[in-house]
Homo-oligomer: A and B are copies of this chain.
Amino acid sequence: MTARTTLADVAAAAGVSVSTASLAFSGAGPIAESTKARVLAAAEELDYAGPSALGRSLRSGRSGIVGVVIGDQLRRSFRDPVSIQVLDGLVGSLGPQGLGVLLIPAGEDGVLPPLLQTASMDVAVLLWGAHTADPVLAALARRGVPTILSEGPRSSGLPVVGIDDRAGTAALVAHLQGLGHRRFGCVTLPFDGARRCAPVDAARMRELDWTPTRHRLAGLADRSVTPVSLVEASASLVESGQEAGRLVLDVADPPTVVIAQTDLLAAGVLLAARDLGLRVPQDVSVAGFDGLDLPWLAPDVLTTVSQPLAAKGEALGDAVRRLLAGETPADVELPVELRVGTTTGPPRA
């Protein structure tokens, strides 16, 4: 491996100064067409691959990198199509701006990943919001990295891109109440970083520190619903929904409908119902949230609240752009839409 050829080499070969050669590439100043051609020819000759991003970054103070902080393990957050689709929208929106996405797994509780403290990034995006007093936020603030939250909380004072979880859930509940349901079960997203799958008691309820979970629960309260059974799932995964679903349904007097806070959880609840010999929706109705396309549920179609995932990613990308432009992005709240499928129906008489 010989030393990489630099702009200086190219300039020397072309017989111009380094500054002129830089101009030939960046085009940020007056330069004669012939000189430019000569420089580019020399670059071609030397197999020069263009100005190194490092030098540019150093001078400009911009690295062109957006750090995306995802939940603990990729395995967990990325098995969730919701994250993927948002991330996809984000990458698609960032790419044309010449920005790249650096994956930063938030470490296990307590230990901050070294990347968070060292990697150079222009902006950080927290894909799953933040806890109150989140050490990740503290570390980013200390480094002076502008940060954007997807899914709250607003209390942080940082720009937030989210959806109208609350109204969406309320609309779903209204629909179910219209069908005659009065006994609601609920399978929720995690309350915090602890990964437990268990019924929620009053003490646990006070520990609730996760924005989507909170908002979607608030939608129930808005319709004056107090669930007869409330179980916290350990993650938005089918397996976890199945486990939680058993806790909700395998009791003496089960609810007539189970609201799961995500579609994957709802899919798990469907499995649990089937395990218990319950027909859906005759014996129990099941609803989700997200509006994923889950072909393997066929011929069932999940009743759910659909959110615009790709749009959310794009809104995040837009917020990044604004932040880099020196603006202060406004909070965004995207609309959701109730989609009635075949997994909900009137309660058994």
Contacts and interface: CB of A to CB of B under 8 A. Distances in A.
Interface string A147-181: 00000000000000000000000000000000000
Nearest to A118: B53
A113 B1 CA distance: 26
B73 A95 contact: no
Interface in A92-122: 92, 95, 98, 100-105, 113-115, 117-120
A247 interface: no
A103 B100 contact: yes
Interface stretch (A14-22, A28-36, A56-64, A128-136): A56-64
A306 interface: no
A239 B298 CA distance: 11
Contacts of A239: 295
Contacts of A206: none
A119 B53 contact: yes
Contacts of A102: 65, 100-103
A103 B91 contact: yes
Contacts of A192: none
B295 A271 contact: yes
Nearest to A57: B54
Interface string A71-93: 00111001101001101100110
Contact of A118 (B64, B73, B91, B120): B64
A74 B64 contact: no
Contacts of A47: 142
Contacts of A123: none
A63 B74 contact: no
Interface string A251-291: 00000000000000001100100000000000000000000
A143 interface: yes
A133 B153 CA distance: 48
A144 B1 contact: yes
Contacts of A92: 73-74, 105
A267 B242 contact: no
A142 to B, nearest CB: 5
A49 interface: yes
Contact of A105 (B52, B53, B95, B118): B95
A50 interface: yes
B88 A75 contact: yes
Interface in A279-335: 295-298
A238 interface: yes
A345 B111 CA distance: 50
A95 B115 contact: yes
A223 to B, nearest CB: 30
Contacts of A53: 118-120
A119 B64 contact: yes
Nearest to A293: B239
22 contacts: A47-B142, A49-B142, A49-B143, A50-B117, A54-B58, A54-B63, A64-B119, A65-B102, A73-B88, A73-B92, A74-B88, A74-B91, A74-B92, A78-B88, A98-B114, A100-B104, A101-B102, A103-B103, A238-B295, A238-B296, A239-B295, A271-B295
A-B pairs, 10 with minimum CB distance: A74-B88, A53-B120, A49-B143, A78-B84, A75-B88, A101-B103, A100-B115, A238-B295, A54-B120, A49-B142
